[in-house]
Structure 1
Amino acid sequence: MFSLSFFPRNYNVRRRRLVRRWIAEGYSRDSDDKSAEENGEEFFSKLLNLSILQQAPQSDTTAFSDVRMVLCRVNGFLRECILSRGMEENHGIELTGTGSLPTQRSGRHLVISESWNRDRAVWESIDSSRLRSMTVFGNWKSFFISKSMKLLQVLDLEDAVGLTDDDVVLMVKLLTRLKFLSLRGCQGISHLPRLFGQLRQIQTLDVTNTSITTLPATVTKLEKLQYIRGGITTISAKDPSAPHTSVSWLSKFHRRRRPLAGIEVPSGIGKLTELHTLGVVNIGASEGEAVLKMLKNLTKLRKLGVCGINSKNCEAFCSAISSHGHLGSLSVRLDKESQGCVDDIYLPSENLQSLKLYGLIDRLPVLPVNKLGKLAKLHLEMATLRVEVIEFLGNLPKLCIVLESVLGSSRLDQFGSCFCLCKILSKI
């Protein structure tokens, strides 16, 4: 619970960010019957049921064995209680405001708020030798990293401003015990150094919405990696500050994040057999063919996102994931002018709970309804919505959320589709 106080009041935090941090810090671990990920999701649900966590405004909620939401907020009143108790027990340090020294100068967790004036003298008064986690909001300064942070396991810099590639090199050199590294939204970062391969304890790497387009070959040495997220997304929203909300057919939900470009991964990615989350991978890149061959080895994958699917690699991609029986979430983006390969797409569907298909024109791949009994969330990007597509959706027994974003001007191909759509929405 104390880790919830790291986030500012009224701050929208991603569920996945919380769970991965809990795992890295040892709060959520593997048990006899559940993985650390499953236990983390259970903790999240308990905190939600106790109203310690609350659904963020305008965020998605879907049924997936339990209530799962993309974004949440910490109850403001309880946050202050948790924070004060944690400070009393010397668990953490919060740098906020200007001028004065913090009450606590030693602890296991450090939070740098956006309002702090980045006073170097104050920084140097802090004992960072015991730190296990550091979370930074707002501007980054290079002096935030020091040789004394030998025990740091979690470095969360999501949306921090001012990071450079040189800062990342210093992190890799000094913070060898890192298990969680998030550079998400740090657009000044263009590459990871070759030295990255020395972070042998790392489990979570998130470089989404940075300028990183390629992961170094040395990443294949990181055998404990479980979670890799990268690539560029775009937000089709009037309010770009809303990190993850949705667009529906009827424009009731008018924002959505969707993949724009993926990252290139080394051909040896198949060595990382502990991976359960990988994306968004650019299969159409130069080493895409070799990556597809190695993808067969990643049989523990539960969540996969790919882009660059075309008529040349479509069959190889489907073959590569055909034996991935644990796959619960799949995102596929077709290249432009690749509608012809839709008929060649066949997906492992028995355990799919979330499916996202981008770049479709007017029809779906072959998706057997009798094997989609667990599908709860479907996101389609189509130029034309045909009656048969809408009827197909109506036959999915557990579908809770249907999302649709457009290629140019989306339209219903017949007026009768409106009637079918209303029937299906009322059913859902």
Structure 2
Amino acid sequence: MAEYALYAAISVFGNIVERVDLSSSQFDVDATKNFMNTMKAYLIDTEGREGTEGFKVRVQQVRDVAYEIEDVIEEFMLEVPEHFHEHRITKFISDTGHSVKDRMAVRRLSSRMEAIKVKIENIKDMDSFRIFPPEQASSSRGGEQENELVGIEKCYNNLSSNLRYCFLYFCNFPANYFVTRGRLFRLWIAERFIEEEGRNKTKEDVADEYLNELIEKNLVYVYGRRFGVPQPVRDFILDKSELKFFCTVLPRPNGTIPIETSRRLSLHNGFTDSLRSKDLSRVRTLMTFRRDSELKAEELLNKFRLLRVLDFEYSGLQSFPEEVVKLTLLRYLSFRNTNIKKVPRCIKKLHSLEALDLRQTCVKKLPKKILKLQNLLYLLVDQRLGVDEAREGVKLPSGFERLKSLRKLSLVKANEKNRRIIRELGNLIQLRKLGITELETKDGKDLCASIQSMEYLSSLSVTAAYRDDEVGFLYLDHVIKPPPFLRRISLGGHLQDIPQWISSLQSLESICLKGSKLENSPLDALQALPCLVELRLVDAYIGEVLEFKPRCFLELRVLYLQQLDGLQMVSVKTSNTLPKLVRLVFRGFQRLPQFPSRFQQFITEE
């Protein structure tokens, strides 16, 4: 949508004004801001309206100019990239703001913006758009299908502007494809569809509200922990996204949008020969969904300059493409589930990068130069092992505490050689998610101190180091004031007892204990948690009986029991215990333990 292009351009222009001296070319900053805001208001107000043919032509002309403005501003950023690196703003501008290079770039920017203003002046009646009343759009579809589309259209028209973008974004994914919440949120944030609302609400919180609203309106369906759209909704958003030049999906048999005008390109069958002759310079988002081991990334990426989002998950890449580091405007980069083995030092050039996903790759350590990525919010990386094996963390360079903006960091090796990592973690106070592997018992106290400083932490995963093929002990009893928003905890390793502070977590929704080998029942420490929805016990208890006491686990819906070799009976005393249980999974049992008959319908044996 063109109004989104202007929103992005206005945001980027604000950064330019802060970081680059525009006075050398008598650049009228205020007039330019007002000009772009007027265009944005016009496009928002005309969204979904029908009018005369002349009205439609004017709206399309303004949309074209909006995309041109975005191109001009981002091409300027490529000309002076040093101003947008590592937040070195005030001193750097003082030293270099009047350099020849900057003056020439600013003059080109000023000249191109003036040419754009002339185009707008030639589009008549820009301020009279309010006189055109909406008309009923005709439809060649009839009967039940038409009624269904009318219902979807009505829901769509009632969505806020940003929520429409989030909804249409599902057109990028293939039919019957279900995306995780985290991936969806990171993409929305990188696309700038999400804005923070006040001090106490993060972008992730806003994204969560958006997704829940789409679910409540039956526009998005929930499939376990993933999300997708039914086919009628998908048909609607594909048509709508083409109409708004929002995205091109290939292959698309009945598609009408010229690829050259699209801002997003989603390749469901990989990079085809038909794209070789196309001008793809306007594309800002590129996603591919074909598991192709012969993907020619070099040939593909050379056709793009202004990419913000690059998602090559499951693409079959064998190495990190050198061409990627030339895409200096990238905010989101995913090579998840590829065969990449090494991250190059020149990744430091991606100074705008906010999300880097290298999970399930062959990467074992990250280069020192990654510390240059001061805008990084999400660093997700782990090594691919066997299907049923635990994931293995990667080695981080010393000094990673400089990445102050990090919100998610997983998985990190914390073995003996990297003991400093545990103390450095305490400086990442913005973390929402933390995953650690190979934690030594003696480092447990330092980790507890670091956890206490993470006020906003909502997800914690800790796995103990192995010794002689045996998982070690986790010693995490020294958390005095735990993060109040912790919702998910996973602990892998021997425990003498469940740490007392876990029993005080009023927001905890899910806990997984793996290899704990507790002698005392873990239920005593967890039974009073008011929000616990999921409990997973994997080789976590060596006793014979698990007893669920009355009026406990009132919100529990999923109970997963695996490798509890000594377990003979699960006791549920009264009917008001486990009132909301809907799934009970037994895995790795040669003989199922005794369990009340009223729960038989929920039992799954694996």
TM-score (norm 2): 0.59
CA drift of 1:53 comes to: 1.4
| 2:161 paired with 1:6 | no
CA drift of 1:338 comes to: 5.6
Cα 1:392/1:421, change in 2 over 3 Å: farther
3-state secondary structure, aligned to 2:493: strand
| Separation in structure 1 between the aligned mates of residue 386 and residue 171 of structure 2, nearest angstrom | 28
Unaligned runs of 5+ in 2: 1-166, 543-561, 582-606
Candidates 486, 489, 514, aligned match of 1:352: 486
| 2:421 paired with 1:291 | yes
Structure 2 matches for 1:207-246, cutoff 5 A? 207-232=358-383
Structure 2 matches for 1:178-197, cutoff 5 A? 178-186=330-338, 188-197=339-348
CA drift of 1:31 comes to: 3.0
Alignment-mate amino acid for residue 309 of structure 2:
V
| 2:247 paired with 1:92 | yes
3-state secondary structure, aligned to 1:191: coil
Q: Which moved more, 1:139-148 or 1:276-285?
A: 139-148
| 2:305 paired with 1:150 | yes
2:286 corresponding residue in structure 1: 134
1:47 corresponding residue in structure 2: 214
- Cα deviation, 1:95-143, whole Å, max 9, x if unaligned, reads 2289x998522210001113x5x433x1123221111100001122224
| Separation in structure 2 between the aligned mates of residue 412 and residue 379 of structure 1, nearest angstrom | 17
| Separation in structure 2 between the aligned mates of residue 355 and residue 294 of structure 1, nearest angstrom | 21
Cα 1:38/1:235, change in 2 over 3 Å: farther
Candidates 389, 400, 416, aligned match of 1:269: 400
Contact 1:387–1:417 (Cα < 8 Å) also in 2: no
Alignment-mate amino acid for residue 172 of structure 2:
F
| 2:511 paired with 1:378 | yes
CA drift of 1:284 comes to: 0.9
| Separation in structure 1 between the aligned mates of residue 573 and residue 521 of structure 2, nearest angstrom | 10
| Separation in structure 1 between the aligned mates of residue 395 and residue 578 of structure 2, nearest angstrom | 38
Contact 2:414–2:440 (Cα < 8 Å) also in 1: no
Unaligned runs of 5+ in 1: 60-69, 238-257
Q: Which moved more, 1:206-215 or 1:383-392?
A: 383-392
| 2:185 paired with 1:19 | yes
1:176 corresponding residue in structure 2: 328
Q: Which protein has the bigger strand share?
A: 1
Contact 1:110–1:135 (Cα < 8 Å) also in 2: yes
Contact 1:378–1:402 (Cα < 8 Å) also in 2: yes
Candidates 123, 126, 133, aligned match of 2:275: 123
CA drift of 1:294 comes to: 1.8
3-state secondary structure, aligned to 2:183: helix
2:409 corresponding residue in structure 1: 278
1:321 corresponding residue in structure 2: 451
| 2:462 paired with 1:332 | yes
Candidates 264, 275, 284, aligned match of 1:109: 264
Structure having the higher Rg:
2
Contact 2:320–2:343 (Cα < 8 Å) also in 1: no
TM-score (norm 1): 0.82
| 2:460 paired with 1:306 | no
- Give the % identical residues: 26
Candidates 353, 365, 386, aligned match of 1:202: 353
CA drift of 1:200 comes to: 0.6
3-state secondary structure, aligned to 2:419: helix
Q: Which moved more, 1:388-397 or 1:364-373?
A: 364-373
1:242 corresponding residue in structure 2: none
| Separation in structure 1 between the aligned mates of residue 173 and residue 574 of structure 2, nearest angstrom | 40
| 2:540 paired with 1:404 | no
1:64 corresponding residue in structure 2: none
Contact 1:214–1:263 (Cα < 8 Å) also in 2: yes
CA drift of 1:324 comes to: 1.4
3-state secondary structure, aligned to 2:437: strand
3-state secondary structure, aligned to 2:442: coil
| Separation in structure 2 between the aligned mates of residue 46 and residue 235 of structure 1, nearest angstrom | 38
| Separation in structure 1 between the aligned mates of residue 272 and residue 303 of structure 2, nearest angstrom | 19
- Cα deviation, 1:185-234, whole Å, max 9, x if unaligned, reads 11x20011000011110100110000011111111111110111111366
| Separation in structure 1 between the aligned mates of residue 355 and residue 184 of structure 2, nearest angstrom | 12
CA drift of 1:318 comes to: 1.8
3-state secondary structure, aligned to 1:181: strand
Query: How large is the Cα RMSD of the aligned pairs?
Result: 2.9
Alignment-mate amino acid for residue 359 of structure 2:
T
| Separation in structure 2 between the aligned mates of residue 343 and residue 204 of structure 1, nearest angstrom | 30
Contact 1:302–1:328 (Cα < 8 Å) also in 2: yes
Cα 1:151/1:385, change in 2 over 3 Å: same
2:21 corresponding residue in structure 1: none
CA drift of 1:359 comes to: 2.4
Cα 1:205/1:166, change in 2 over 3 Å: closer
Alignment-mate amino acid for residue 411 of structure 1:
L
Cα 1:418/1:410, change in 2 over 3 Å: farther
CA drift of 1:374 comes to: 1.2
- Cα deviation, 1:136-175, whole Å, max 9, x if unaligned, reads 01122224534442211000111112x13252x2211x21
| Separation in structure 2 between the aligned mates of residue 294 and residue 421 of structure 1, nearest angstrom | 48
Cα 1:403/1:265, change in 2 over 3 Å: same
CA drift of 1:395 comes to: 2.1
Contact 2:408–2:434 (Cα < 8 Å) also in 1: yes
| Separation in structure 2 between the aligned mates of residue 153 and residue 3 of structure 1, nearest angstrom | 15
Q: Which moved more, 1:346-355 or 1:316-325?
A: 346-355
Structure 2 matches for 1:53-72, cutoff 5 A? 53-56=220-223, 59=224, 70-72=225-227
Cα 1:399/1:233, change in 2 over 3 Å: farther
